[in-house]
Amino acid sequence: MAREPSPAHEERLRDADRSQSTILAAARDEFAEFGLGGARMDRIAERAGLNKRLIYYYFDDKEKLFQSVLEQAYRDIREQEMQLRLTELEPATAVRRLVEFTWDYYLAHPEFLTLLNSANLHRARHLAESKRARELNSPVIETLATVLERGRREGTFRGGVDPVQLYVSIAGLSYFYLSNSHTLSAIFGRDLLAAKARSERLSHMTEVILGYLLHD
């Protein structure tokens, strides 16, 4: 007997959705703070203000929960990248914009860095098992290719630049500095996250990337 879903049913569904989101957010914070090995299901439940059993109900086990958190993290950054509209800008401005965006996003979402680290520690097993791994590919790569090509045609950019390599380089310049800010700060004996240090880093990175790309 097919029935119209009752309002009560709908409400329960919304509750269910909300619970899952709450759990995902709590798990993301826990995994980000302690890594996959150090995260505690108990604490995730506590952070979420929900019963531990419910986590298992929705996500089966810790590994699958981590996988879901990881996918969500990728979806989040991809969604932001989608807003960039780089093709509407001058090539140099577009690249500068991408450098800034990457830097700002990593700064605002430090959990993204530690989640990536955890994923890689486990040899990206969690992505390999994800059917949607390829969907997590950045939309920026395509855009960047267009930007590079236009820059080259305009004569401002050098040719022969692989957009994937450039994308990875732009990410790496921010990533290493921020992901390792604690050890670097300890070793250099100064706070790499102070406002001045941050702005100097951003200038440097922009200069490196544009200095490399731009013809003289």
Partner DNA sequence: TATGAATGAGAATTCATTCAT
Partner DNA sequence: TATGAATGAATTCTCATTCAT
Interface ranges with DNA (CB under 7 A):
6, 8-9, 11-13, 15-16, 19, 39-42, 50-54, 56-57, 61-63
Per the CB < 8 A criterion, the answer to whether 83 and 128 are in contact is no
CB closer to DNA out of 62 and 201? 62
Q: Smallest gap, in angstroms, from Cβ of residue 115 to DNA?
A: 16
Instruction: Answer with the entry of DNA, its own copies, none that 19 interacts with (C-beta below 5 to 8 A by kind).
Output: DNA
Secondary structure in 3-state letters for the chain:
CCCCCCHHHHHHHHHHHHHHHHHHHHHHHHHHHHHHHHCCHHHHHHHHCCCHHHHHHHHCCHHHHHHHHHHHHHHHHHHHHHCCCHHHCCHHHHHHHHHHHHHHHHHHCHHHHHHHHHHHHCCCHHHHCCCCHHHHCCCHHHHHHHHHHHHHHHCCECCCCCHHHHHHHHHHHHHHHHHCHHHHHHHHCCCCCCHHHHHHHHHHHHHHHHHHHECC
Among the candidate windows 22-30, 50-58, 81-89, 112-120, which touches its own copies by CB under 8 A? 112-120
CB closer to its own copies out of 88 and 130? 130
Residues 15-34 that bind its own copies (CB under 8 A): 34
Instruction: Answer with the entry of DNA, its own copies, none that 108 interacts with (C-beta below 5 to 8 A by kind).
Output: none
The residue from 121, 139, 153, 191 that contacts its own copies (CB under 8 A) is: 121
Q: Smallest gap, in angstroms, from Cβ of residue 36 to its own copies?
A: 7
Instruction: Answer with the entry of DNA, its own copies, none that 53 interacts with (C-beta below 5 to 8 A by kind).
Output: DNA
172 binds its own copies (CB under 8 A): yes
Per the CB < 8 A criterion, the answer to whether 141 and 164 are in contact is yes
Residue 112, Cα to own-chain centre: how many angstroms?
Answer: 5
The residues binding its own copies (CB under 8 A) are 34-38, 114, 116-121, 123-124, 127-128, 133-134, 136-138, 158, 162, 164-166, 168-169, 171-177, 179-189, 200-201, 204-205, 207-209, 211-213, 215-216
